[in-house]
Amino acid sequence: MNGDSSAAIPVGQKKALAAMDLPSGTAWAYNAALTSQGRVPRNWLEAMAMLKRILMVLVVALAAVAFVASATAQKKKYPWEKDPGPIAGKWKATCPASGNFIIEFRIVGEKKASGTVAELGNAGKYGYKVGEEIFRVAADDFGDWVGQLKWRSVAGAERWDPIRLVATQDKLNATMTTDDCYKNMPRVK
């Protein structure tokens, strides 16, 4: 062959492949993939066997792509990206008006958390109930928890306000909030 892959291609196929404007090695591989070992199937049984081989190759290729995609999905997108802060657990609200108001955060899914009322303290006067969800947050690329806080007034007004929380091992701090009760909350052990 002397390094020339076109020598193995029959003359009739060389003309057809030249019309496709592909390098001869690429064209030969293309032709071999579409036919069974370089030849056209002679009957429907050979055609079905060839189709079965092609489908198997496609299934394996799709599985490989899915595996690579799932492996890359769990990697960090940016070199400066941080893991989410340790929000799971119980935290005591810091405003004196709420008394021993304790919120418990649970991780829900990969990067989401839900905060529910664990102990009412004096917050019952706002209409909160034990087990009620009052936080819906998700971890951002900086490791902070960003989402919504269910706020209530004594008069019964209720709304979902935006909130940003920074969690460390012993403190949960609301750096962006409309309510001071969630600033510098200590972890309850």
Whether residue 78 is contained in a domain is answered as no
3 state SS of 2 = coil
183 lies in the same domain as 106:
yes
Tell me the residue range of the domain where 134 lies: 89-188
pLDDT digits (tens, 9 = 90+) for 100-121: 899 999 999 889 999 999 999 9
pLDDT tops 70 at residue 44: yes
Q: For position 3, what pLDDT does the model report? A: 47
Does the pLDDT of residue 59 top 80, yes or no?
A: yes
Evaluate whether residue 30 is within a structural domain. yes
**Residue 23, pLDDT above cutoff 70:** no
Q: Name the strand (E) or helix (H) holding 42.
A: none
* Comparison of pLDDT for 182 and 18, the residue scoring more: 182
Question: Does 99 share its domain with 183?
Answer: yes
**Same domain as 95, residue 68:** no
What does the CA dihedral 98, 187, 138, 125 come to, rounded to 10 degrees?
-10
What's the CA gap between 189 and 183, in Å, rounded? Answer: 18
Question: Does 73 or 92 have the greater pLDDT score?
Answer: 92
Considering its fold, how many domains does the chain have in total?
Answer: 2
For 105, list phi and psi in degrees, rounded to 5. Answer: -100, 135
Co-location of 40 and 114 in the same domain: no
pLDDT of residue 11: 60
If asked whether residues 116 and 173 sit together in one domain, one would say yes
